[in-house]
Structure 1
Amino acid sequence: MEVVVRRLPFGLAKVVAPSFLGFALINGCTFGIDLLLLAFFRGGLGLPVPIAFTIAYVLAFGLSFVLNRALNFRSHAPVGPQAGLYAVAILINYLAFILGVGSALTEIGLQYLLSRVVAGACEAAFMYSVMRWVIFRDTREH
């Protein structure tokens, strides 16, 4: 990520952290997985929206934690405390953005997948901040 960030145009290399780019790539992929799971649980199995959101969310964020810890932040700190902090962060994120924003937008008539995309934009800023400055604070910028 350092090499890619160094080559960013318009002086962006001074503002974009390599961990942000790594986060964007990893979480872009896990968000895609989240949407596929959501479509399967809601559209395929017919589960209610809050249940479909919840199952897809937990599975995708578990994968995000593992990938970000190993590949992006390269943390070697004990996993237990980090997993605990991550659990608190995703609970806050889940209540505020997934159930709050996502379900509210669905209730007012926005299609459930589009609701999830809007909620995803909100949660991305929150989760990157928490992962970089709270959960994986033991790592140096790569």
Structure 2
Amino acid sequence: MTGGAKADNRSDLGQRFHALMEVVVRWLPFGLSKIVAPSLLGFALINGFTFAVDLVLLTVFRSGMGLPVPVAFTVAYVLAFGLSFVLNRALNFRSHAPVGPQAGLYAVAILINYLAFILGVGSALAAIGVQYHLSRIVAGACEAAFMYSVMRWIIFRDAK
């Protein structure tokens, strides 16, 4: 398969994913269909999945391997957010802009996110005695709002 054929397949998959998100959004109750963007729903699904990957990796690194909480948070975070970038770029935002500048912006965004929410909120909660999974979930809620905003309006602003 050539590079062009691979790009066409990714584009088709992204278009099908977006079409599915549009259908689901139309069925949202309570007038939510008027305020929830298909990309927000796609972000929620993709990042819900990658957050589950993050928690599984966190458990493996912390409970399975005995790594310190900040190290376990960091390694799991970097791996999960790499997956999030790839899936959101291809499926949700369907970006065709050069990947290099986007990856650079994404790296800055995840660094800010990491320092503020993962180490800041997550580690602080763990340090005061909140169970590390729960502290990561609270930090995850904060990071979701920040990362969606950055991805939609800064990193993937070329999205269709």
**Alignment TM-score, normalising by the size of structure 2:** 0.87
Matches within 5 A, 1:1-142: 1-140=21-160
How many correspondences in the alignment?
Answer: 140
Counterpart code for 1:88: V
Give the unaligned 5+ runs of structure 2. Answer: 1-20
Q: Which runs of 5+ in 1 are unaligned?
A: none
> Residues 54-109 of structure 1, C-alpha deviation per residue, up to 9 Å, x if partnerless?
00000000000000000000000000000000000000000000000000000000
Q: Could you tell me how far apart the structure 1 residues matched to 2:62 and 2:29 are?
A: 41
Task: Report 1 or 2 for greater relative contact order, CA contacts < 8 Å, sequence distance ≥ 6.
Answer: 1
Which AA in structure 2 matches 1:112? Y
**Normalising by structure 1, what TM-score?**
0.98
Aligned residue type for 1:53 = F
What amino acid is the match of 1:72?
A: N
Provide, for residues 9-50 of structure 1, a one-character-per-residue CA deviation record: whole Å limited to 9, x for no partner.
111111000000000000000000000000000000000000
Structure 1 runs (4+) greater than 2 angstroms displaced: none
Question: Considering only aligned residues, what root-mean-square deviation do their CA atoms show, in Å?
Answer: 0.5
% of aligned pairs identical? Answer: 84
Larger Rg: 2
